C-alpha cells in the first residue's frame, strides 16, 4: 500500500561499515552480491539488511525504539554475513539514507561505523560471493574503471571516509558529528539542473530548497567516474 505521497511506505534496514587499519591506511569490508540475486545483483555493498520483527523486541519482552532495533538488525546481519561479533555500543551512527523516488520497496537505512574485532571473515555464500578489505580510494578507483559496481549510498560513504587517516579517526569524527539524513531525490538531466544523478539537502535544485543558485550537494552518475559536488 502506498501513502498519500504516492511513495511506498518505508521499511527499516541497517548497514554496518566495518573498519580496520591496513598497510595503506583505513580499509572497509566490502561484500559482492551474487549476480543472480534479485536485490543488488552483482553490486559490492557493506554488510547489513532489513530490520526483522524480532530485532524490535528486547530480551525482557519490551519494544525497542527504531534506532535500537536498527542496531540489533545490523549486529545480527553482520554476524550472519561475516561472522563478526560486536556489541551495540560498538556501532556508531553515521548517517541515514531514504530514497524519495516511487520504487516498489523503500528502505530507511541506518549506516553504522564499527571497528573490526577479528581478522577472520566467515562469508555467507548464500548472500555474497566475495569479500575484500579495501581502502576507500581503491574501491572508488575500481568503480571508476568499471571493475566494481556500487550504489550511491556506498559510493558517498567511501568518498567521505577517504579523508580519514585511521579507523579511530573515522569513529571519533562520527561520534562527534550529527548523523546526516540523505533524503535522496533523483536528478534528471536538463539545461538548468545539469547531468543526471542524485541530489540532497544543501543543493539549489533540492525540492523546497532556499539555497542560492549554484549551491551543490549531489552525485553525478551520468558516466564513470561519478562526480561528487558539495559546496558547503
Structural domains of the chain, ranges and CATH numbers in brackets = 10-184 (3.90.79.10), 188-232 (no CATH)
Nearest to 97 by CA among 5, 198, 232: 198
Q: Find, among 82, 74, 70, the residue nearest to 133 by Cα.
A: 82
Is the model's pLDDT at 214 over the cut of 60? yes
How do strand 217-220 and strand 25-32 relate by DSSP bridges?
A: unpaired
Instruction: Please tell me the distance from the alpha carbon of residue 93 to that of residue 95, in angstroms, as a whole number.
Output: 6
List, as one string, the DSSP characters of 160-173.
HHTT-SSHHHHHHH
- By mean pLDDT, which of 37-41, 77-81, 167-171, 225-229 is the weakest? 37-41
With cut-offs at 50, 70 and 90, classify the pLDDT of residue 188. Answer: confident
Asked if residue 113 lies in contact with residue 17, where contact means CB atoms within 8 angstroms, the answer is yes
Query: DSSP class of residue 203?
Result: S
Reduce the DSSP state of residue 150 to 3 states and report it. Answer: coil
Closest to 141 in 3D by CA, of 16, 39, 44: 44
Is 191 a residue whose pLDDT tops 90?
Answer: no
pLDDT value at 75 more than 50: yes
State the average pLDDT over residues 25-33: 96
Predicted pLDDT of residue 2: 40
Question: What is the pLDDT of the chain when averaged over all its residues?
Answer: 92
Least-confidence region, from 19-28, 99-108, 112-121, 187-196: 187-196
Q: Which residues pair with 31 in a beta bridge?
A: 45, 131
For residue 219, the cross-strand partners are: 198, 228
Amino acid at each position: 500500500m502506498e501513502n498519500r505521497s504516492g511513495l511506498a511506505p518505508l521499511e527499516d534496514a541497517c548497514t554496518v561499515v566495518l573498519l580496520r587499519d591496513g598497510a595503506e591506511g583505513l580499509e572497509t569490508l566490502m561484500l559482492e552480491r551474487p549476480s543472480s540475486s534479485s536485490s543488488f545483483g552483482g553490486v559490492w555493498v557493506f554488510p547489513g539488511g532489513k530490520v526483522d520483527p524480532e530485532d524490535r523486541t528486547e530480551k525482557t519482552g519490551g519494544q525497542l525504539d527504531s534506532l535500537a532495533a536498527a542496531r540489533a538488525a545490523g549486529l545480527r546481519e553482520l554476524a550472519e554475513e561475516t561472522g563478526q561479533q560486536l556489541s551495540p555500543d560498538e556501532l556508531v551512527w553515521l548517517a541515514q539514507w531514504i530514497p524519495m523516488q516511487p520504487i516498489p520497496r523503500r528502505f530507511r537505512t541506518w549506516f553504522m561505523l564499527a571497528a573490526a574485532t577479528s581478522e577472520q571473515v566467515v562469508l555467507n555464500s548464500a548472500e555474497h560471493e566475495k569479500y575484500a578489505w579495501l581502502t576507500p580510494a581503491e574501491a572508488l578507483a575500481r568503480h571508476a574503471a568499471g571493475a566494481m559496481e556500487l550504489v550511491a549510498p556506498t559510493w558517498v560513504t567511501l568518498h567521505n571516509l577517504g579523508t580519514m587517516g585511521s579507523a579511530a579517526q573515522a569513529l571519533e569524527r562520527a561520534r562527534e558529528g550529527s548523523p546526516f539524513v540523505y533524503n535522496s531525490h533523483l536528478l534528471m538531466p536538463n539545461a538548468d539542473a545539469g547531468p543526471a544523478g542524485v541530489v540532497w539537502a544543501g543543493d539549489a535544485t533540492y525540492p523546497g530548497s532556499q539555497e542560492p543558485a549554484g549551491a551543490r550537494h549531489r552525485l553525478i552518475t551520468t558516466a564513470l567516474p561519478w562526480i561528487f559536488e558539495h559546496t558547503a
